[in-house]
Structure 1
Amino acid sequence: MVSRAERGPLAEWFWTIDRLFLVLFLALIGIGLMLSFAASPAVAHRIGLDNFHFVRRQIAFMLPAVAVMLGLSFLSPRQVRRAAIIMLVAALAMMLLALFFGAEVKGARRWVSIAGLSIQPSEFMKPAFVVVCAWLFAEQQRHQEIPGNLFAMILYGMVVALLIAQPDLGQTILTSVVWGSMFFMAGVPWIWITVLGGLGVGGFAVAYITLPHVAGRVDRFWTGEGDTFQVDTAREAIIRGDWFGRGPGEGVVKRIIPDAHTDFIFSVAAEEFGILFCMALVAIFGTIVVRGLTHAYREHDDFNRFAIAGLALQIGAQSMINVGVNLQLLPAKGMTLPLISYGGSSEIAICCTAGFLLALTRRRPESRAQERGSYRTLYQPAE
């Protein structure tokens, strides 16, 4: 335990970090590793790999991911902003390269290979995009002559264009929801919200008409006809798990669903550990979102407020999409469950999101001074 009397970067970090946030993120990482032992051996065996192939890779991803999260949590808000700008530029460049030189998987070009590692740059784009847009919105609030909102709209258009070109409709929807929420927080006129909402609906309609795989997934969701094997089996696994589960290793869904260790790991958890366990897992994500929004509400700095809210909503929205697909409440979409599903790019990128959140929510002397000043102003007797 670090004493309050100690001075130094580590002691200051320990006493200023949001320790509940830190515990929740570490808990999710630990649960993800546990569920990797439960879900991935059957998948590895089915495709001819060593049973613990994905488990070993999950551990290999987990160690640098935790290091990245803790390292980023030491940054100041200005350093977070600079790191996000560098990350966003690199991610957008790699997304562009992926369109021309990336490997095509299931009709999409979303990955680039660097030093033998397959990287999905759009995962790293998401937290950086949130932080940079928060900075642009804040600059508009601070200096009305700076067209920060316009720059944020242009940046959003660039990101969406790259995502659609891959194509990746799920990430497009997730990015749009988070960006729209931040835009709303920035106090834009209702006419802009109406226009952008209409464009969003129109864009989805165009995607449905022009992209066969989008139309197929939506039609299967509404009618239940066609190839619904994965979602039907996932729902059956949740039902079979009942309240307390069938026990570790006793699930059957992981033996037949191709994506049991990624998109449908929530169903594996439900079958083996029960609905109560899944409710606790959802509660962890809900606590992260609520705590993040609470921090944002108390913030005096516009950049911190927008960035904290956007990062927390990003984690919450992504987890909601994954769980919604498993429960057949949303059309099937390949979206990982943050820090739970297998995937190196996803885990490290979510830890970047967590690291940014931990850095921006640290208690700092200037923020405490502002709170004391606001308190004195509020309760100062009238002269």
Structure 2
Amino acid sequence: MQPIFKNIKGDRLLWAVVAVLGIFSFLPVYSAASNLAYTGVGRGTFSIFFGHFMHLVLGFLIVFVVHKIPYRYFRAFSILLLPVVLVLLVITLMQGSATAGTNTSRWIQIPVVGVSFQTSTFAFVVLMVYVAHYMARIKDKIITFKESILPLWMPVFLVLALILPANFSTAAIMFSMVLVLVFLGGYPFRYIAVIIGSGLLALTLFVLTAKAFPDAMPNRVDTWMSRIASFTDDAITEEDYQIEKAKIAIASGGLHGVGPGKSIQKNFLPQSTSDFIFAIIIEEYGLFGGLVLMFFYLTFLVRVAVIAQKSDTIFGKLVVLGVGLPIVFQALINMAVAVQLFPVTGQTLPLISSGGTSIWMTCLAIGIILSVSAKREELVKKEAQDEQEDNPLDILSEAV
């Protein structure tokens, strides 16, 4: 084990939080997987559990490899990968279709390995790194709105426009996180207000066009509107089925929960291993378990803030915040949906929910954060060595 720990760099507490969340995820996923096996997804409980295990193994391998890469290289990677992301999003949008009540235009099939890949999550990470790179590049320059339209906002709106038809929640979160990042990067607030207004106008035009020409493109506008209507309306409809079962699960959990693997609502709650896994966690581990889980996500947030504050470059600070804040924000949204503080969005619980792409892209973001932290550690060690070498007392003692 010692050689492994020697090769692990970066913030140790962040490593610990990520490891605890990943290891804990096996318990609720294995418990909820029994329902998936029973309802006929074509795999047994152990097969689903093993699939989640392999996703996490590959995810931690991604963290390890990425955190070894000097983070300055991610600036060039984001520029090179942005056109690739746009092409993948176009292909995904064109090949997908709505079948059996689900929208498969969020995923792209990889024929060589026979797996599905959700391109929007990959686009999220690449776009945030790109925005961090741009804001770091113009940090000491006078920012004009006209000059920033093509290099900054054009890529952002292209990515959002390709994600929006099939995945409104991801597009909305991405837009919000970009706005937060450019604000933290010193972008003038009056320009941000213009972008917000333009975004709302574009969204309105898209919804009106989709309602007027429903067969023109694959979209889920009706689903968005029904979910918002169900959230604001007290009447119980079919759209409320998931959230009602989630609330029953949470109420059944009480303070201490019914115990690991003893959830009842996992047999009735759709997406119990992904979108609504927090409700299963509360049912089995109670309010105490839910608060402990929130504590780990808040600890993750604190470490992200500390790493960003300690980074020696503007890009390091912004890229840590750019890829770190969305992880915590997504976790809070997932929890808020389970307790009906937010409309149903389809966002997973990072590092806990099953699903390959979600885990891998979260681990990619964590690897980038740890790369920044590892670089800071190297600088601190180098400074300490330089001070020791230049210490006159050490020189005198060596002479004596």
TM range (shorter): 0.7 to 0.9
Alignment partner of 1:22 is 2:18: no
Match of 1:111 in 2: 107
Contact 1:163 1:171 survives alignment (8 Å)? yes
Give the match's secondary structure for 1:109: helix
Alignment partner of 1:37 is 2:36: no
Counterparts in 2 of 1:184 and 1:47: CA distance versus 1, 3 Å? same
Match of 1:221 in 2: 231
State, as a whole percentage, how many aligned pairs show the same letter: 24
Distance 1:365 1:56 in 2: 37
Counterparts in 2 of 1:191 and 1:369: CA distance versus 1, 3 Å? farther
How is 1:320-335 mapped onto 2 (pairs within 5 angstroms)? 320-335=332-347
Q: Give the CA deviation at 1:236.
A: 1.2
Residues 327-378 of structure 1: CA deviation (Å, up to 9, x unaligned): 100001111110111101111111101111111122244467899xxxxxxx
Match of 1:160 in 2: 160
How is 1:166-181 mapped onto 2 (pairs within 5 angstroms)? 167-181=166-180
Give the match's secondary structure for 1:118: strand
Match of 2:54 in 1: 60
Alignment partner of 1:265 is 2:261: no
Single out whichever of 27-36 and 131-140 deviates more from structure 2. Answer: 27-36
Match of 2:357 in 1: 345
Q: Give the CA deviation at 1:84.
A: 3.8
Counterparts in 2 of 1:177 and 1:232: CA distance versus 1, 3 Å? same
Contact 2:96 2:103 survives alignment (8 Å)? no
Q: Give the CA deviation at 1:51.
A: 2.5
Larger Rg: 2
Distance 1:95 1:351 in 2: 21
Contact 2:143 2:187 survives alignment (8 Å)? no
Distance 1:38 1:303 in 2: 42
Q: Give the CA deviation at 1:112.
A: 1.0
Counterparts in 2 of 1:74 and 1:81: CA distance versus 1, 3 Å? same
Distance 1:270 1:207 in 2: 38
Contact 1:103 1:111 survives alignment (8 Å)? no
Give the match's secondary structure for 1:261: coil
Distance 2:234 2:248 in 1: 15
Distance 2:143 2:246 in 1: 52
RMSD (Å) for aligned C-alpha atoms:
2.6
Opposite residue 64 of structure 1, the aligned amino acid is L
Match of 1:76 in 2: 70
Which of 105, 118, 121 in structure 2 is aligned with 1:120? 118
Give the match's secondary structure for 1:119: strand
Contact 2:13 2:303 survives alignment (8 Å)? no
Contact 2:37 2:45 survives alignment (8 Å)? yes
Distance 2:181 2:381 in 1: 25
Give the match's secondary structure for 1:311: helix
Which of 285, 291, 310 in structure 2 is aligned with 1:298? 310
Q: Give the CA deviation at 1:294.
A: 2.5
Distance 1:145 1:197 in 2: 18
Distance 1:134 1:217 in 2: 33
Counterparts in 2 of 1:122 and 1:48: CA distance versus 1, 3 Å? closer
Which of 104, 120, 138 in structure 1 is aligned with 2:136? 138
Give the match's secondary structure for 1:96: helix
Unmatched runs of 5 consecutive residues or more in structure 2: 212-220, 385-400
Q: Give the CA deviation at 1:39.
A: 1.0
Give the match's secondary structure for 1:77: coil
Counterparts in 2 of 1:207 and 1:32: CA distance versus 1, 3 Å? farther
Distance 2:358 2:15 in 1: 18
Contact 1:137 1:149 survives alignment (8 Å)? no
Residues 280-322 of structure 1: CA deviation (Å, up to 9, x unaligned): 1111111111221222233331101111111111101111111
Which of 45, 48, 51 in structure 1 is aligned with 2:45? 51
Contact 2:28 2:261 survives alignment (8 Å)? no
Single out whichever of 294-303 and 155-164 deviates more from structure 2. Answer: 294-303
Match of 2:217 in 1: none
Distance 2:227 2:333 in 1: 14
Unmatched runs of 5 consecutive residues or more in structure 1: 4-8, 372-383
Q: Give the CA deviation at 1:86.
A: 4.5
Which of 92, 96, 103 in structure 2 is aligned with 1:102? 96
Distance 1:288 1:202 in 2: 35
Match of 1:379 in 2: none
Residues 184-226 of structure 1: CA deviation (Å, up to 9, x unaligned): 0121222112222333444555566542221111110000332
Contact 1:245 1:275 survives alignment (8 Å)? yes
Counterparts in 2 of 1:365 and 1:70: CA distance versus 1, 3 Å? closer
Distance 1:151 1:157 in 2: 11
Contact 1:308 1:361 survives alignment (8 Å)? no
Give the match's secondary structure for 2:109: strand
Contact 1:138 1:148 survives alignment (8 Å)? no
